[in-house]
Amino acid sequence: MVTGATGGLGLEVARELARAGAHVILTGRDPVKGNRALVSVRASVPNADLRFNPLDLAALSSIRAAADSLRATGTKLDILVNNAGVMAPARRMTTRDGFELQFGTNHLGHFALTGLLLPALAQGRGVVVTVASLAAWRGKMPFDDLNARRRYGPFARYSQSKLANLAFALELDRRARVHGARIHSRAAHPGWSSSDIIANSAALGEASGRVARTLRKAQKSIGGAVFRLLGQDVAHGALPMLYALSPDALDSGYYGPQGAGERRGFPGSAAIPPAASDAVLARRLWEVSEELTGVRYDWETVS
């Protein structure tokens, strides 16, 4: 299962997993984009074994419905790629459950999804790859205001959510080891990779489709040139996530491009920000995430 697989990095990861012979479940908010993604993958991988499942990570009800649907079929889940993300909306927005949109979608949504899918993961290979970002280096975890009710800065809250992603991946590995669970947690980041995340996020909540189209056009022309110069395209940006699924990857490993500043290049081990390695911070974040989402990991059933 790949979250946020209707475009960008998620679509590329799904494509390559299908090329390798996996049965791939693509997820996303928009069924129309989902169908287009299926067509896109099958155009390059004619015999691809895949399907689309609706999943809105900004709604706990949607997350529970998706997990219930998978469990009802008895599907064993070998791989979960926690990729979907929202980046820096200009104004504070919230999920359906009232969480700040970036923290709620990027972290809390994936925290809940992973916990609810834990039994299915334990029945399969149980590999979980969570996508972080270089922005995690700038992240802070304001536990007294995680949902930005008092203060909102678009990129500060994005960095917070990406620090949460990485801290979650490392804490998931710690807890799996303590409980002897068949879960293998890794993390990856794409470096500076051009995708639709900025334009899609900036257009959230806008009434005019013209606004979204203008933002996407600007990103492709201006932002795309910058990323091509200093970063890399989506296909190369997806490589660290794929590397995290390879036999060379280790549990608790963090992978990213090996070029200057980890912005571009072929994948390998990435530097971990000190805050993400803080076990006390990660434990507190885990406990708060349980309280906010109502999802508690049932380790007894997967050990």
* pLDDT single digits (tens) 85-111: 999 999 999 999 999 999 999 999 999
Of the candidates 35, 39, 41, the one whose C-alpha atom is nearest the C-alpha of residue 54 is: 35
Amino acid identity for residue 82 in this structure:
N
Q: Phi and psi at residue 156, in whole multiples of 5°?
A: -65, -40
Residue 274: C-alpha distances to residues 127, 132, 171 (Å): 24, 14, 14
- Asked if pLDDT for residue 207 goes beyond 70, the answer is no
- Predicted pLDDT of residue 231: 74
Find the catalytic residue in 152, 158, 243, 254: 158
CA-CA distance, 94 to 36, in Å (whole number)? 27
CA-CA distance, 67 to 19, in Å (whole number)? 25
Segment 48-60, tens digit of pLDDT: 999 999 999 999 9
- Asked if pLDDT for residue 31 goes beyond 80, the answer is yes
Of the candidates 69, 63, 133, the one whose C-alpha atom is nearest the C-alpha of residue 105 is: 63
Tokens 């309280």 sit on residue: 291
- Predicted pLDDT of residue 205: 45
Q: Which are the contacts of 180, defined by CB distance < 8 A and separation ≥ 6?
A: 303
Higher pLDDT among residues 197 and 128, named by residue: 128
Cα atoms in the 13 Å half-sphere on the side-chain side of 85:
29
- Asked if pLDDT for residue 121 goes beyond 50, the answer is yes
Asked whether the CA dihedral 67, 255, 231, 277 is positive or negative, the reply is positive
Q: Are 214 and 153 in contact (CB under 8 A)?
A: no
CA-CA distance, 263 to 227, in Å (whole number)? 9
Q: Which two tokens stand for residue 243?
A: 């590397």
Of the candidates 215, 202, 165, the one whose C-alpha atom is nearest the C-alpha of residue 187 is: 165
CATH class of this structure's domain 56-193+231-301:
alpha beta
Instruction: Name the pTM for this structure.
Output: 0.91
Segment 251-301, tens digit of pLDDT: 999 999 999 999 999 999 999 999 999 999 999 999 999 999 999 999 998
- Predicted pLDDT of residue 202: 46
Question: What are 27's strand-pairing partners?
Answer: 53
Tokens 């293998």 sit on residue: 184
Tokens 């991946």 sit on residue: 169
Q: Could you confirm whether 243 is annotated as catalytic?
A: no
Q: Which two tokens stand for residue 100?
A: 């700040």
Q: Which two tokens stand for residue 253?
A: 């490993």
